[in-house]
Amino acid sequence: MSHPHPELGPPPPPPENGLRIVALGGLGEIGRNMAVFEYDGRLLVVDCGVLFPEPDQPGVDLILPDFDYIRGRLDDIEALVLTHAHEDHIGAVPYLLRERRDIPLVGSRLTLGLIESKLAEHRIQPVKVEVIEGERRSFGPFECEFVAVNHSIPDALAVAVRTPAGLVLHTGDFKMDQLPLDGRLTDLGAFARLGAEGVDLLMSDSTNSEVPGFVTSERDIAPVIDDVFRTAAKRIIVASFASHIHRVQQIMDAAEKHGRKVALIGRSMVRNMGVARELGYLKVPAGLLVDSREIEEWPPEDVVLICTGSQGEPMAALSRMANRDHPIRIAEGDTVLLASSLVPGNETAVSKVINGLNRWGARVVHKGNARVHVSGHAAAGELLYVLNLTKPSNFMPVHGEWRHLRAHARLAELTGVPRENIVIAEDGVVVDLVDGRARIAGAVPCGYVFVDGTSVGDITDVALKDRRILGDEGFISIVVVVDSTTGKLTGGPEITARGSGIDPDAFDAVVPQIESALQEVAAAGVADEMQIRRTIRRTVGRWVSDTYRRRPMIIPVVVEV
């Protein structure tokens, strides 16, 4: 079993007649999925998604893959294949197309419809190549065959990439629901046919590799949703991913059955459902939808609101409702349905929203107390099924945290994939497929790229550390005036603090220490501004630590006269 090593060096030039694969995201994390295939100097990219920030990344809106590896070779990209339209697979496409706008986007009808709608907000008109399951298309040296897979969004595809170096099957995100709402099954026959042809490398979704058995069918949720509608006395507010068309369809069907009107809340929800309806993936009965601005005119027992915010995102509609910062006010007797899974890392934020909703008297139905969501990712039983069908010579788990990747690797070994042919890589690790063997060849730099408002890549880890310190401990500013020639103190120090929790009068105790320290520096003949700031920072920092056991940010300001 090949493992990445923290001291992997730069890879050698790509091997002749070999296929090089570099994941720029999606390994060791859930999100930011992006894989780059290289053969004979040409590139094929599969997916280009975003990762959503953690609580310890304040001010960050999105996290992108690091494009540096391909930035100097954008003209070598033959196409960008999009397996499906979830944000963790398409969210970074606008940022890549800013660097080369005519990269062909390859995907299913719905996937391209949703990405085109997203790109319109960035004023980008994409070059689209629509494909369907069973179709084969060549992009330079890459022949791609597209395979239908079932997922929590319609029209998802796996892609089989053929080059003279071998056949690689990339499953994308998938599950094996045998009774899907849209009737579109994962094409196990195609997987078996590819296995018979000879899969040289299988790259497979690992998200649920630790979950035994098979995932529950989407149809099993319908009775639970119906029960929620039947027992709800007043308004029903449903929070879901803005891309979960199947779930929205189920809610609309239940609303029609129980005589309620539906309003969509949130820009992304309105946009995505508009595209899905226009393309025929969402069936909306006549007269069911009403404008969200008219919703207050309807009796509460006749209303269903579908909004975003199931992950506790602070600016999403549901979080704002919980905080009483939204035009729609949660009232006693309302029912809130969180109809989505919990993304790892969002537990605290979601719990806070649930508590806020309960505070105002809402009944909250969520995955913890009812079966209101099933996963869109294959569990261990399904993953074993695919491994046995495809019989890969080499295996590389993708799309998952470290625990998921290792669990999936163990499943592959159980099905007979030789241990030395299982590659567990992380973002930036270079994998070469040569002569039927997949091996780690090195690593390329591959960090996080933070989006903060309109700023892309300007926020560094150092800046985030400063933000965390400011948020946790506050800051102390010390202004002194010194003689530019001698370095002697001629004015101040004046001390200001914000968020430190220290009484302003308490700083009187540290002023003599600052004055004494600066006198010693001046007596030593030091007039350098940097050294003076360092002396102030060290003196005040030691005093705060000894007195209060705190570590606020200390900002010395030296004015020379």
Question: Is 205 an active-site residue?
Answer: yes
DSSP state of 72: T
**Is 226 assigned to a binding site?**
no
**Is 544 assigned to a binding site?**
no
**Is 61 assigned to a binding site?**
yes
**Is 88 assigned to a binding site?**
yes
**Is 192 assigned to a binding site?**
no
**Is 242 assigned to a binding site?**
yes
Task: Judge whether 476 and 544 are in contact, CB under 8 Å.
Answer: yes
Candidate list 170, 246, 366, 377, residue with the active-site label: 377
**Is 393 assigned to a binding site?**
no
DSSP state string for 432-501: EEETTEEEEEEE-----EEEETTEES---HHHHHHHHHHHHH-EEEEEEEE-TTT--EEEEEEEEEESS-
* Residue written as token pair 């629509």: 130
Among candidates 83, 20, 59, which has minimal Cα distance to 468? 59
**Is 35 assigned to a binding site?**
no
**Is 503 assigned to a binding site?**
no
**Is 366 assigned to a binding site?**
no
For residue 220, the tally of other CB atoms under 10 A from its CB is 12
Q: At what angle do helices 529-548 and 511-523 cross, to 10 degrees?
A: 150
Among candidates 297, 298, 318, 299, which has minimal Cα distance to 307? 318
CA–CA separation, 298 and 498 (whole Å): 47
**Is 246 assigned to a binding site?**
no
CA–CA separation, 476 and 498 (whole Å): 7
Question: Is 377 an active-site residue?
Answer: yes
CA–CA separation, 21 and 344 (whole Å): 27
**Is 243 assigned to a binding site?**
yes
Candidate list 47, 205, 334, 427, residue with the active-site label: 205
**Is 170 assigned to a binding site?**
no
Distances (CA, A) of 143 to 126, 140, 352, 461: 22, 8, 48, 40
**Is 244 assigned to a binding site?**
yes
- Known binding residues for Ca(2+) are 59, 61, 452
- Known binding residues for Zn(2+) are 84, 86, 88-89, 151, 173, 399
- Known binding residues are 59, 61, 84, 86, 88-89, 151, 173, 242-244, 373-377, 399, 452
Annotated active-site positions, please?
Answer: 205, 377
- Known binding residues for substrate are 242-244, 373-377
